[in-house]
Structures are given as C-alpha cells and as structure tokens.
Amino acid sequence: MEGSWKSGEIDSSSSLFRLKNLRTLNLAYNDFNSSIISTQYTTFKELRVFNLSQSSFSGQVPTELVQLTKLVSLDLSSNTLSADKSFLNKLVRNLTNLRELNLVAIKNWKALSQNLMEATLLHICGPFSYILFGGLIPSSLGNLSRLTNIHLSGNTFGGEIPSSFGRLNQLTSLDVNSNKLSGNFPIALLNLTKLSYLSLSYNQFTGILPPNISSLSSLENSFFGTIPSTLFFTIPSLGTIDLADNQLSGALGFVNMSSPLKVFLESHFTGSLPDIFKNATNLRSLNLGHNHFVGETSKIFDKLLFSGGPNTIDSTTLSHSGCSP
C-alpha cells in the first residue's frame, strides 16, 4: 500500500482493520492530511513491520503502539510527530523483538534518547533530518550497554564521537559517515572488541591513526601519517579496504590478509604494490590513483582476469599512481 492510499484519514470502520493476522503494514509515502495515528492499528497483534514514514501524520504518537509486542521494525520517520518522554521507555520494555526504529521528525528526539537505557539490539537507522539530528551526538547513547548497531549517517552531527561509546561492549557496527564530526581518531572505540564494521568517512577527523586499530571499514577523512604495521594483522579477513581521500603515506604491507573484495587506496602511498594483489582472485573494485607506487603493474595483475569469468574486476583506477604498465 506504499504510496497508493488516497489523501485523508482511514476510517476506523475500514476493512483494513479486519485483517487481524496482518504481519506487514506499509503506509509510507501517502498523504493522511495531518491526521493523528489511530489507535486502531493496535488491533494487528501479529504485526512485525509497521511503516508510516512520510505520510503526513501529525500530533502525539499513541502510547498504545507498545501493545504491538511482535514488532521487529517501526518507522515513524518524516512526519510531524511528537512523543511522551516515557514512550521509548515503554517501547523497548514491551517490544523486545524490536530491531529497527526510525524516529526522524520526532520533535523531542534528544529528550527521548535519555529513555533508551533498556534498548536491546536496537538499530538506530537513518538518514535523519538535519533539523532534528544536528548538534552533538547524545553521550547518553553510551549507556545503552546492549546496543549492537549504531547507524547515524547522513546527519549534521558535529563535535567528537562521545567517549561514552567506549562502554558499548556489545557494539558490532558503527556508521557515522557523512556528518560534520571532527577531532582525532576516537580512541574510546579501541575498547570495542566486538566491533566488526566502522565507517567514519566524509567527516572532518584529523590526526594520526593509532597503532592498535582492530576494526576498519571506511576512514575517508583527513588522517595522515603511515598505516600502523599491526593493522592488517588484526583483521586478516577484511573484505573492504577504504583509505581514500586521506593524507596517509608510506609503504603498504597487507602481509596477513586474505583476498579482499574492494580496495580503495587513493592517497599518498609509496613503494611497490603489496604482493597480496598477485592472488587477489576475489577482487572486484580497485582504486590506486594519486599515489606514488613504483614497479610494473603487469607483474602484479597477470593472474587477475579483467574480462569474463568469476574473477572479473568490475572497475580499476591507476591514474596518477606512478606505476608503469
């Protein structure tokens, strides 16, 4: 029903509310003419996915929604809604299966974030409204000890990543790309031993990368200096290496890595290309532009197939790399 409903409200006598066993309800991209969210939706006790995004709802989010105890995903984004301060507390206490919550355009999100203390495996997703999700990242998020995923990309958050994030011992994925964050690499993140995905790209971080980084996916900022020699020993199965758009330099090792899928090294590296590329049979994308590598690329890539077959490289960039054919 996404984008297909006529403007106006859904009458409480609508046949829609007779579908008691409904599991997915998507009313996104409709025009409900600033109507409030009806409590009739609580009749869908089997509902797993509930999406009301960008549908011109307004007013208070009904607390009765916490009766939908089987919800896995709830999206109330891009409306003009507000919620009681106790709403999220009740939400995460009753909706124990909840894994995805999108609250774009909830007017008092910062106040609500203080009531997320009982969140379990909650995925805060985006993109978020720049009006409601700017300023500093709430340090209170660091109190959510069971949080496993934080995705805050595409906002206008500024300042530094809160040091309280170092207490999120269960965190496996952190994505804060495309904000206005700044400062040095957030050392507190080095405490997160379960972190397997980290994206800091398209912010304004500066400084030298610490030698004991144990998780890395995307670090497109203004980092400079050399790559820590221990980096790729600690993450041998890394699938994507993205160090583009920094001021990193020096030689590359990659001596303890399995074959990566994507490599983006557009920076200021020097020396010869790592031997890993000789047998990188899984490689799909490669960007080595704007470096100062030396040596012949043919000796590195003679085992890679650039056309046809399962080992095809989809894209490669060697411009301004200094390598000879």
Rounded Cα distance between 200 and 69, Å, is: 34
- 80-82 and 58-60: which strand pairing? parallel
> Which pLDDT score, from 0 to 100, does residue 28 have?
93
DSSP-derived secondary structure for 58-115: EEEPPGGGGG-TT-SEEE--SSEEE--TTHHHHHHHH-TT--EEE-TTBTTHHHHHTT
Superfamily of domain 1-121: Ribonuclease Inhibitor (3.80.10.10)
**Average pLDDT of adjacent 10-residue blocks, the chain of 325 residues:** 61 86 94 92 95 92 94 88 79 76 70 49 39 64 77 81 90 83 85 79 77 53 57 58 68 60 66 66 71 65 48 48 52
Rounded Cα distance between 201 and 214, Å, is: 17
- The amino acid that residue 89 corresponds to is N
Contacts of 307 (CB under 8 A, 6+ apart): none
Domain ranges of the chain: 1-121
- CB–CB of 131/103 below 8 Å? no
- CB–CB of 100/119 below 8 Å? no
In which residue are the tokens 């980092």 written?
223
- CB–CB of 108/81 below 8 Å? no
- CB–CB of 273/293 below 8 Å? yes
> Which pLDDT score, from 0 to 100, does residue 163 have?
92
Q: φ and ψ at 24, to 5 degrees?
A: -130, 130
Rounded Cα distance between 81 and 22, Å, is: 24
> Which pLDDT score, from 0 to 100, does residue 119 have?
43
pTM over 0.85: no
- The amino acid that residue 312 corresponds to is T
Q: Is the dihedral of CA 260, 262, 267, 269 positive or negative?
A: positive
Rounded Cα distance between 66 and 129, Å, is: 24
Measured from the Cβ of residue 23, the count of other Cβ atoms closer than 10 Å reads 13
> Which pLDDT score, from 0 to 100, does residue 147 have?
77
Bridge-partner residues for 198, per DSSP?
174
